[in-house]
Amino acid sequence: MLDLKLIDKGVLFMLLSAFIGALNGAVAKFLSDSMDPIEIVFYRNLLGMFILLYTFKKIKTTIDFSKLHLLILRGVFGATAMVLFFFTIATIPLGEAVILNKTSPFFVTILAYYLMKEKITFKTFIALVIGFVGIIFITKPFGVDISFEHFLGVLGGFFAAAAYATIKKIKDIYDARLIMFSFMFIGMLIPLGLFLFTSLVEFKFHTDLFIWSLIIFMAIISTASQWFLTRAYSISNASIIGVVSYTNIPFAVGFGIALGDAFPDMYALIGISLIAIGGILVSRK
């Protein structure tokens, strides 16, 4: 009965994370008309850090240094995935950006095979093939409209997979807020480093109060989404949570259409469906 309750709570947390995450993506896409997407990542994580620091003041926690390297790796992987995700949100339809990010279960399976010597069953192999075909339909390499942004979307899925894998390793060692803090702190340093040492990112001085209100709103809801996601993977079976996480696809497509994205064409719909089917099969292996 206890396990059932934990699973139910984890599913609820993942549903909330999926909806809020899609809303966060919609706000980021809207803001990308006025800001560099990497600049959005910086402010989102900076404000998120202040929110977490406030919670640390209210409820204390301790730091165990035994697995600090994994905590830092979680931050690097998660922050890199976020930078790539926000960039693709700004450059391709929201629904496509989200589904490409959702290729992470395939990469989890592949990483587990090479790094942890886990066996890949025939069903899992078929799921990987289905997912790969889905990626082909979305990126459209057959002379229709492949783009570098789609490739970055898939790469973001890889880093998201690496980040999720580390959560399971450190969930019993670190407070969920510390896991999130490592992700946000490094997620602030990467955009700042790109701004200071490269010409890839342009930061501007913004005076529009509406823009800042959206940034603050995004920081709040994205922090909530990350907390729900971290808690979901911490207390429930990862395979179940992985399946539920795909509910953010229709949310994202709907928000994207509301913001002016074209309704997904036949190729995109087929690709979205195949990746979702493959991801669910992998998650339930």
Residue range of the domain that includes 100: 2-283
Q: What pLDDT is stored for residue 238 in this prediction?
A: 66
54 has pLDDT over 60: yes
- 144-166: per-residue pLDDT in tens? 455 788 889 889 988 988 887 78
Q: Is 120 left (phi over 0), alpha (psi -120 to 50) or beta?
A: beta
Our CA dihedral for 239, 223, 80, 69, rounded to 10 degrees, sits at: -80
pLDDT bracket for residue 190 (50, 70, 90) = very high
| Nearest of 280, 273, 3, 16 to residue 127 by alpha carbon | 280
Domain total for the chain? 1
Q: Kindly state the average pLDDT of the residues 195-219.
A: 86
pLDDT bracket for residue 68 (50, 70, 90) = confident
Cα–Cα distance list, 206 to 31, 86, 272 (Å): 12, 19, 36
